[in-house]
Structure 1
């Protein structure tokens, strides 16, 4: 359950810890402090940083395939 996961992650951050995640769930991504969007595709078509920054920054990137889902 994403809401339970977010509660635990926020508890770790509130306690002063750094949390690094590899995640595809947009609810988790949109609640992050920083996103690194890697692509542009999967496998051999990926591996390049397409966009990075706050969820707002990535949501407004013209090159990011993640951006439209962060804007929802």
Structure 2
């Protein structure tokens, strides 16, 4: 998805949440930083995954010892 479209989608999802709707998104991009809550499933991909390795806020995830947390920590500042 083009970055401009991602921004529009995030704004739409935020509007939905502001209106009281619960929104669940499955995402593989660092735009998860815009989330209220993250469930990280891993520890790897495919047959090496399938286990919840983290659950919490994006700010907490950057402190986690997971590949997703490490990538997010390099991409955003909290």
| Alignment TM-score > 0.5, same fold | yes
Aligned length: 70
**CA shift for structure 1 position 69:** 2.0
SS of 1:44 mapped into structure 2: helix
Q: Which runs of 5+ in 1 are unaligned?
A: none
Give the TM-score taking structure 1 as reference length: 0.91
Alignment of 1:1-72 (within 5 A): 1-27=5-31, 29-62=32-65, 64-71=66-73, 72=75
Q: Which runs of 5+ in 2 are unaligned?
A: none
Runs of 4+ in 1 over 3 A off after TM superposition: none
Distance in structure 2 (CA, Å) of the matches to 1:57 and 1:24: 18
Q: Which has the higher helix share?
A: 2
